[in-house]
Amino acid sequence: MNKPYKYKIVIQYDGRPYNGWQVQPGVPTIQDKIQKTLEIFLGEPVWITGSGRTDSGVHALGQVAHFAVTKEIDLRRFMAASNGLLPPEIRILEIIPAAEDFHARYSAKGKIYHYHLWTKQVHSPFRRPHTTYFPQELDLDLLQGAAKLFVGTHDFTSFANSPGEGAAAKNPVRTVKRVDIVKEEGGFRIEIEANGFLYKMVRNIVGMLLDVGTGKRPIEDISRAFELKDRKFSSKAAPPNGLFLVKVHY
């Protein structure tokens, strides 16, 4: 049956209680919770497609998804009903009609992620769920210099975990527009903007930056990692709890 009505939704979520975005058997995921909620409201099976999958424990301020249904939706009623049915960790911020050729993943032109680090000795109980505790001494000037080495078009094989998905698995080249170190309460955040990201790419970049910033690895290892195209050479991924998908560009 044709589903002529397509919609784009913008979603926020706290990723802590979930095993990531993508539907998986036997475990709670963001995609599964939203799909089941929409099916209750709409009275028909719904498959939502996100701009990309976020890992277990990763959060989103502006995840984007699309879905198609057989009947037109009352948008105001949809917002009230869907958020009333969803668990409090997940909220739909916006719904708008989408063009027939819109695709949440393939139409995306770029994304912005923020990674939040708490560097004070005492971790705030209020910020603990959404920041990574990192009280080790960091050379911020060295960190800034290391961040610049990720800007540009590179093969990010050394900073991507397997398995990948679709075109992302076949083409590991991405263009990073900026990597900024921004001071904030309790520490700083690392802002990364690119035309696309590979699986765990942000967390792997952050892991390398922190190793360089603490003197655990020389800054030259970043260029070496690009040359080797070997995930085993790169640093361990940073924990998921400090990571937010902030915005998807179309």
Active site residues: 55
Q: Which of 112, 129, 86 is nearest to 196 (CA)?
A: 112
Give the Cα separation of 129 and 126 in Å (integer): 7
Q: Token pair for residue 88?
A: 């409090």
